[in-house]
Amino acid sequence: MLKIIKYTLLLFLTAIGAIITGFYLSCPVYRFDEPQPFSGDSLYNPYKNTGRSQWLAGNFQVQSRVWMGITNGRKNSPEAIWNEYRKLGYDIIAISDYQSMNRALEDSAGYIPVYEHGYGIHKTHQVCIGSRKVLWRDYPLGAGLSNKQHIIDLLQKENELVTLAHPDLRDGYRVHELKYLSGYHLMEVLNGARLSLAHWDTALSAGYPAFILANDDAHDIFKPGEIGNYATMIAAHSLAPGEIIHSLKTGSAYGVRVLTHDQSNGFIRRLPRLVSCLLKKDTLWVSFSDTAHEIRFIGQHGHILCIERKVAFAAMPVAPEVTYIRVEAEFDNKAILYLNPVFRYKGGELTLPRRATVDSGATFWRRTVSLLSLGLLILVLFYAKRKFQLNGKN
């Protein structure tokens, strides 16, 4: 019996190893364009059409019990997640289980299918929003730039929105890689485990329109201080999934970080809010519902361009050399609002720039060399085993 168990386990591990090896060997090699900052005669303002919208609070990262409780989140039932977040005043509550779309709240208002993709040791994960199918392919032993781009490309086919999850966690995405990666829509800049502002500014400085997502990423909703720390405020007229996804995709949202750990009923609705973000000629005007302790205008490479203190509104001219401006507003109640960037572009409908193309020649040669090397390794192992058996008989 023990021999059968050992043999079965060996077969299982061999199969897993073969699959993972196949993933790596078949990954295409990409050629990446050198990054270019935002440019153009027009300015893209993601808040241009938000005047009559309401701000809806969303959280797209929280884990529930799944996979027989193996993953972190085993204490959280979907019903408990819904109830706790509704108490705090959240409108959109999405469960992002690992490699699984949780449909327990499918009949709830504002339900959007979401899951967290990735099972690698370096936490190179993606929050997939508006998902149709779970992707099982990944590079669990470590991922290079081509591996990461390949996963983004595959996820784009089966999801309305692809988000780079907690980029700073375990160097899941290195800062310099954000100069080159493309095809994703959002970046989880604010996360319960990590803040990734340097990653965000690197992508923006390289001319990539990555919009913000802010999530608790809670794994134990009953632990004090675990939830209600982050929210994505989304401009929408309703909870219709299509409208929510469109607003996120076009940047009509902003992130909120709360440092007070307020757990009172409906507290998220009492936080300071963005009133308007307008372009008047070549000047950016922002106004908020409360007086801010500090309003920061941030530009290329994360440099602070201007600071205004003890005001509810502020303005800054957008000089010709300014490629993008994003705004942070910090309030005395310890809430910080992170607005999406206003940036230069060529006008018309916003499209995601494509920076990576498959290098067919390099892909062919790498796969060929890899397969030959693998074949040689198998022959060497087979020969060594045969020699060991013959020596044993002698």
DSSP assignments along 110-174, one per residue:
T---EEEE---TT---EEEEEESS------TT---HHHHHHHHHHHHTTEEEEEE--TTGGGSS-
Q: What is the pLDDT of residue 379?
A: 80
Between 222 and 377, the higher pLDDT residue? 222
Average pLDDT over every residue of 343-357: 95
pLDDT digits (tens, 9 = 90+) for 318-335: 999 999 999 999 999 889
Q: What is the pLDDT of residue 369?
A: 82
pLDDT digits (tens, 9 = 90+) for 58-97: 999 999 999 989 999 999 999 999 999 999 999 999 999 9
What three-state secondary structure class fits 62?
Answer: strand
Q: Closest Cα partner for 353 from 237, 254, 206, 146?
A: 206
Q: What is the pLDDT of residue 372?
A: 84
30: β partners: 358
Q: Quick one: 323 exposed, middle or buried, by C-beta within 10 A (0-12, 13-18, 19+)? A: buried
Between 308 and 364, the higher pLDDT residue? 308
Over 80: is that where the pLDDT of 206 sits? Answer: yes
Q: What is the pLDDT of residue 385?
A: 66
pLDDT digits (tens, 9 = 90+) for 370-387: 788 778 778 877 777 677
Average pLDDT over every residue of 281-306: 98
Q: Are 215 and 166 in contact (CB under 8 A)?
A: no
Q: What is the pLDDT of residue 242?
A: 98
pLDDT band at 21 (very low <50, low <70, confident <90, very high): confident
Angle at 229 between CA 213 and CA 182, to 5 degrees: 15
Q: What is the pLDDT of residue 394?
A: 58
Sheet of 211-215, strands arranged across? 114-117, 126-131, 159-164, 186-191, 211-215
Q: Closest Cα partner for 204 from 184, 222, 179?
A: 179
pLDDT digits (tens, 9 = 90+) for 160-198: 999 999 999 999 999 999 999 999 999 999 999 999 999
Task: Return the percentage of the chain with pLDDT > 70, whole number.
Answer: 97
Q: What is the pLDDT of residue 258?
A: 95
Q: What is the pLDDT of residue 260?
A: 86
Between 240 and 387, the higher pLDDT residue? 240
Q: Closest Cα partner for 313 from 343, 344, 345, 280?
A: 280
pLDDT band at 392 (very low <50, low <70, confident <90, very high): low
- HSE-CB at 348 with a 13 A cutoff on CA atoms is 4
Backbone phi, then psi, for 362, in 5-degree steps?
-65, -35
How far is it, in rounded angstroms, from Cα 317 to Cα 105?
Answer: 46
Average pLDDT, the chain: 94
How far is it, in rounded angstroms, from Cα 160 to Cα 60?
Answer: 14
Q: Are 310 and 291 in contact (CB under 8 A)?
A: yes
Between 333 and 48, the higher pLDDT residue? 48
Task: Return the percentage of the chain with pLDDT > 90, whole number.
Answer: 83
pLDDT band at 393 (very low <50, low <70, confident <90, very high): low
